[in-house]
Chain A
Amino acid sequence: MAVQKVTRRKDWSDLDLDFIAHPTTGDVVKKTGVDAIKRSVRNLILTNFYDRPFRSYIGSNAQKILFDNINPLTATFLKNAIRETIVNHEPRVELINDQDGGILVDVNADQNGYNVRLSFIILNRGEPVTISLFLERLR
């Protein structure tokens, strides 16, 4: 009889930093699969340099850029910062080319912020994933 090889299906699983308790078990809720990666990307964008102890280089430093004047040039800086951090720190995703709508940062002058939309492909998963964020400065 041929030996049947059984492998565990590899999936992503991470702690949810919101620390919401599971309604029935009371355990900390997990983020799994695509949700885990989306949360990871969002975490990286929202992290500033020197937020993490001893690992000052992690993050996009978006906060610093948000306190500059809101204009298309700053939007470009923000886009570059986001791309850089994802390329450097999230090896599981590949950004879709900008022309195809990879990272879009639009100035939202009415609300004093930026609409950010990221599209990327998770490696070894077919369909593209999109995250939308609204970034504004908070004091």
Chain B
Amino acid sequence: MATEKSALRVTELDFNSIRENLKTYLRSQTEFEDFDFDGSGMSVLLDILAYNTHYMSYYLNMTGNEMFLDSAQIRNNILSHAKAIGYVPGSKKGSLSKVNINITPSDSEDANTSSITLEKYTRLLGSNKDGVNYPFVALYSNTATKESGSFAFSNVYIKQGEVVTLQYLMESGNDSRRFEIPSANVDLDTVVITVQESSSNTDTFIYTKNEDITELTANSKVFFIEENENLNYTFYFGDDVLGKKPRAGNIIICTYLDTVGSVTNNISRFTFVEPIGGLFSDNVTVTSTLSSYGGVEKETIEQVRFRAPYFYTTQNRAVTKFDYETLLVKDYNYIDAVSVWGGEDNDPVIYGKVFVSIKTKGNYALTNFEKERLKTTLIQSRNMLTVTPEIVDPDYVYLIAKGTTYYNPNITDKESGELLALVNASVQDYNDTELGGFNSVFRKSKLQTYIENCEKSITGSDITMYAQKRFEIDTDKTKTYTTSFVVPVKRGALDVKLSSYPEIQINDSNGISRDAFIEEVPEILTGIDSIEITSAGSGYISAPTVTISGDGSGATATATVIAGSVRGITITNEGENYTSAVVTITDDNGSGATAIVKLQSEKGTLRTVYYKTNGEKVIINSNVGTIDYTTGSVTLNSMRIFSVTENEFYNDDILTLAAPISGDIISSLRNQIYQIDESDPKSQQIKMAIG
């Protein structure tokens, strides 16, 4: 009789546990009692039963795992789950680059042609820094006309890959209409499928990749493409209900780029290998205007696992901020970070727009071509009709750390130079961990923690952070420049104040060119911003005398009297150098009017200076612009800068302004990115001192 004890437990999956459970069960019977001895026939039978159960349970467990996107391990199954929620994993993509091609035909070659065409898929070779060559091809055909004896193709887009063309015959029994591309390295963006009527009738039709199933009709010439079980790609056609079905006898021609993926990023040397228009490569120069970028590998199973559900939540529509981010990252997977904000959050507010800022891997700037492509193909086809997308470049605010780090030499065997290297590395570590993306927060205390924890002998640090803006000077033109540090900055003091680098060449009042700097007027205190009436008083017949007194000088104002009371005070001269001021209103008749003075504390003045050979500082123009301490915005009024001194740190014609940051915690908004630029030696100016 079966008892509680003898009930067969079925919860275990492990061989030994299953076997023990079977033995426990058999203890309740008397028919076969030798199950406990290794040599017995029952023992052999138990082994087989337990093994079988174990095997099946293991198999079921694995099968169960493969049934869910979260736990599946086999690429095919993950792709299948992703397909069910409408996600097409990204293929390999070839690197993209832009080149200028110049061809000067030799006398023997010149056949009086006035224009030549660079055909689509014309081949170039790009060589990386190790001298390995990779094929690149022109993405579009370009035509150039002869000017001054040569042909110039500018901004030719080229993509890494080898052009492969395959032909398939649509047979009458092919009900699945599926054709395999026998390569795992297909760049899906470059697949072109044309269908030729038959071998005798050479009419061809181009089929495009299906983007939206809801727009298909029986006559839509589309193809579908997906990764297959061999990790290659299979394309297939519609069934005459959703998409046109090719007829038997049709010849299907598939052309694509077979690419090597990300290894060809950052190539900037290209050479010609095949003649164009009968002109040979001897006479061709190729210069790259943009190092190759954007090559990526096929999406890994972990990337698919992560992205597919998020993609599904967007439903292929860009409505929320998160939708934009997901759609962009999905299609454009060399994006490092995306920031999206609505026009109502913009500065200035612009309703009806959505702003997108993209930081790419490798930090190159998106070209107008790419921005346009993103806007039209990715965003405008999926977002709401009334919302206009706008792609803006990231606004880099470079942070500069200046100051002193103190250490105790008695508890370390390192020299100050070694310690400084450690400190600099820890600053960079802070930058890599905490900064460099959108919506990051700079905390000075955290930076100091990084510095102070980098070595045991470091006792403390005194760091001042500067914000640096880099902007391009339009040389030899009179222009008003406006830029912004984006963060609030401190009013300058004698030693800690806004400064510029490198030297700029401007003329002084006598027309002599000077190597000048822009600086904030140090510790200059400002004039009167406004006067607020606190009591209007009574009995005034004419305008009373307004006297402004304080530590500054020159401020004057007049009062306006309406119906016997002082109703307004107009500042006629702001004056200067005030740290405090009081206003008194005096009159023979009226009395009782009082007012308080508000000083201009929010704006500072910028001036240009140069140094004589003996080190004497000379002011060229005492007021070239202003700085708003609250917003960090800087205006340089009508400046004519002839040139910017060349230097090893920054590109030509780049002028930098640096100003001390007010406050120890700053947050980046919208398209702002804070960064301590590793490649700029001036970004870390920290000294070591014993203390």
Contacts and interface: CB of A to CB of B under 8 A. Distances in A.
Contacts of A43: 39-41, 44
Query: Is the contact region of chain B dominated by helix, strand, or loop, or is it mixed?
Result: helix
B280 interface: no
A83 interface: no
B39 A40 contact: yes
Interface string B38-49: 111110110110
B47 A39 contact: no
A89 B33 contact: no
Interface in A3-45: 8, 11-17, 30-31, 36, 39-41, 43-44
A117 interface: no
A36 B15 contact: no
B30 to A, nearest CB: 8
A91 interface: yes
A14 B47 contact: no
Contacts of A47: 39
A84 interface: no
A16 B32 CA distance: 10
A40 B44 contact: no
Contacts of B32: 13-15, 30
Contact of B48 (A31, A41, A53): A53
B685 interface: no
B47 A53 contact: yes
B41 A54 contact: no
Contacts of A12: 33-34
B12 to A, nearest CB: 13
Contacts of A15: 32, 40-42, 45
A122 interface: no
B41 A16 contact: yes
Contact of A54 (B38, B39, B47): B47
Contacts of B40: 14-15, 36, 39-40, 43
Given A44-B38, A44-B39, A13 B33 contact: yes
A70 interface: no
A53 B44 contact: no
B31 A30 contact: yes
Nearest to A45: B39
A52 interface: yes
A36 B39 CA distance: 10
A69 B40 CA distance: 31
Contact of B47 (A30, A41, A55): A55
B37 to A, nearest CB: 6
Contacts of B34: 12-14, 36, 40
B252 to A, nearest CB: 52
Interface string B4-42: 000000000001100000000000001111100111111
A91 B47 contact: no
A52 B37 contact: no
A14 B41 contact: yes
A90 B47 contact: no
A53 B48 CA distance: 7
B51 interface: yes
A57 to B, nearest CB: 9
Nearest to A57: B38
Contacts of A54: 15-16, 47, 50-51, 54
A42 B114 CA distance: 100
A54 B37 CA distance: 16
Interface of B: 15-16, 30-34, 37-42, 44-45, 47-48, 50-51, 54
14 contacts: A8-B30, A12-B34, A13-B30, A13-B33, A14-B34, A14-B40, A14-B41, A15-B42, A40-B41, A43-B40, A53-B15, A53-B51, A55-B38, A90-B38
| Closest 5 pairs between A and B when the two form their complex, measured CB to CB | A40-B39, A53-B51, A14-B34, A44-B39, A15-B41
